[in-house]
Amino acid sequence: MFSFQLLSTLSSVALLVSAAPAFPGHAFPAFPKKGACKCDTSAANMNLPANQTQLVTPTTAPLYVALGVGIQNYTCSSTTLKYTSTGAVASLFDISCLDKTPAFKTVSNAAFTAWSTSKGSANTIGSKVGAANLLGFHYFVPAASGTGISPKWDFTSTGKNAGKADAFVIGAKTGGISAPAPANPSVDVDWLGLKNATGTLASKIYRVDTVNGQPPSSCVAGSADITVKYTAKYFLY
């Protein structure tokens, strides 16, 4: 897959080369400063809306800023006649390169528009929204306690961490925060703040800017399990 990013990198290089002689001793004006350069997460910010009072942005810079494209799984509880979550599966794309561009703000929505009508793999969606680099995957694993499942962010098989066996984090079951999505909580899955239980990839994981993913408000006893497409931003600190 020939990526949008590679193309834009190539064109920046070409511009730099041709621009350099015209600006002697002067950096190409549009080229970001060191420390704030493309694909650097050090200045990326969650920018939580003021009406969202439960999650608190960490004071350190994020290590990874990812677009998640995937599904939420649900099963129908025959006692409450509501769908309950049974996990999720998502592909995670690097969006640090979009940070500080207008596209960053709306990338969850743009990705959901592409994903909602896609018949293909979630892996193909990033390249449609300027985020072709697949960082890894989000899915669930049996909890260490032996009861239930725990969320995992696994960057061991793709992207810059491919081959690093410890490039994953499993979220802790306790101490997490779940907050209704500020704009459309019945449609968009909750925003989350979780701590690490296992793995060295990150010590805090946030899911924000969610689009879709909530199940229907009720179900009929005996209904089959369902999957609901969603997108979100994940910030790993």
Ligand X SMILES: *[C@@H]1O[C@H](CO)[C@@H](O)[C@H](O)[C@H]1NC(C)=O
C-alpha 235/C-alpha 232 separation (Å) is 10
Partners of residue 213 on adjacent β-strands: 188
Q: Is 51 in the site for ligand X (CB under 6 A)?
A: yes
For the chain, how far is it from start to end, CA to CA, in angstroms?
A: 29
- CB-closest chain residue to ligand X: 87
Measured from the CB atom, the residue of 140 and 234 that comes closer to ligand X is 140
Please, what's the largest Cα pairwise distance for the chain?
73
Rounded to the nearest angstrom, the gap between the alpha carbon of residue 173 and the centroid of all alpha carbons in its chain is 20
Stretch that binds ligand X, among 2-10, 25-33, 85-93, 150-158 (CB under 6 A): 85-93
Q: Which stretch binds ligand X (CB under 6 A): 56-64, 103-111, 197-205, 211-219?
A: 197-205
Asked if 182 touches ligand X (CB under 6 A), the answer is yes
By CB under 6 A, is residue 49 in contact with ligand X?
yes
Segment near ligand X (CB under 6 A), from 18-26, 82-90, 154-162, 208-216? 82-90
Q: 159 vs 182, which CB is nearer to ligand X?
A: 182
Count the Cβ atoms, other than its own, within 10 Å of residue 145: 9
Instruction: Determine the interface stretch with ligand X among 25-33, 124-132, 155-163, 195-203 (rule: CB under 6 A).
Output: 195-203
Q: What residues contact 161, with CB distance under 8 A and at least 6 apart?
A: 135, 136, 155, 167, 201
Q: Rule CB under 6 A: choose which of 90, 167, 197, 236 binds ligand X.
A: 197
Nearest to 169 by CA among 204, 193, 144, 201: 201
Nearer to ligand X by Cβ, of 115 and 140: the residue is 140
Output the six-digit token pair for 114: 């592409």
Sites of contact with ligand X (CB under 6 A): 49, 51, 73, 86-87, 89, 140, 182-183, 196-198, 203, 227
